[in-house]
Amino acid sequence: MKYLISFFLVFFTVFTFGQSSIETRTDTLDVKKSNTIVSKQKTDTINKISDTLDLNCKKRKCSLKVQMVKEESPIEFLKYLLPIFTLLLGIAINKTLDYWSDKKKIKKAGKRWIGEIRCLETPMKTQIEVLEAFLITHSKETFETPKLAIYSILNCEIFKSLDKGELLKYIKFNKKSDYKEIVKASNTIHGYINIITNLYETLKVVFENYKSDASNYVNSMNNNLQLLLREFADYGVLLEKELGTDPVNDSRLRPILDLISKHIQPKRQTGDYNVFELENVFFIPLLSILSHLRLDERTRNLSVYTSNCLNDIKGIRMEKKYLTDNMTYIIDSYKKQLKDIENIINIIESK
């Protein structure tokens, strides 16, 4: 638009200047024609005067000088000022258009920042609800890891595409305060966005670490359980050698065999044990039985593998607690950011 106006002004200047020149030339031609008629009259007069002057000039040397002065009309003077005036007017119009264009652009960018911050409100509320529901299920004494929905909009990637400089200009445009206060306000807004981003990243990392570490403990417990069962089989062979008969009803073997038959054997093929249930109904009772057989060196490895399984279960429980503590912190942090969202928007908009 501004380029079109500039082009029009230049065209208008050239056109006006050209018209003035044509009129001047036309007047000049007319003057020459009129001067031709007058010159004939002046020639006769000058000849008579020259005759008189010649008489006197013969007696003494003399000279005659005739000067013609042409006055410039106001129109001819204005034609030199018009291009300068038009140029200044074009510059002023361009500056005005630039100002209003920049103002519109800054205002649009500021509204975009406000809109994107406002769009974080609903996902934060939903994420809080999801985490609270997750913790209710997670607190149960089961090793089933519930599915967790993590809303990717809370990674705040959209703000990387927004111009931080335009935000600074928008705050300056609204607040009309000193530069330090404007920078402080801008840093507060970016700090708010960084907190939400860090909460999103922390939630992802914490949940992934929990699944990984808890899975490692489960695998370790399964390995120790397999070693325990193998050691129990070897212990039965040793008792059979000692007794010379099947020790299935021996008081040292029978209690352990009953525990295995009831709690381990039914799920041995699938391996879908409830580790916290096994802790109470299998490993702790087994450790109690083995404590009575502690003087028998042949039960030493049985006690070791049972203790290892209990330690693995303890590790899983600690991972659950660690996840619960972190999610509780994240929930509280999201709630705080929800309360602060209006203050952040007011920092951008308020004057």
pLDDT digits (tens, 9 = 90+) for 250-266: 999 999 999 999 999 98
- Least confident range from 3-17, 131-145, 153-167, 170-184: namely 3-17
pLDDT in tens, 230-253: 999 999 999 999 999 999 999 999
pLDDT in tens, 114-154: 999 999 999 999 999 999 999 999 988 777 778 899 999 99
In the chain, what are the domain boundaries? 2-57+67-106, 119-349
pLDDT in tens, 173-230: 776 667 888 888 889 999 999 999 999 999 999 999 999 999 999 999 999 999 999 9
Residue partners of 323: CB distance under 8 A and separation at least 6: 138, 206, 207, 210
Q: Is the pTM of this model over 0.75?
A: no
Contact 253/247 with Cβ under 8 angstroms? Answer: yes
Contact 305/228 with Cβ under 8 angstroms? Answer: yes
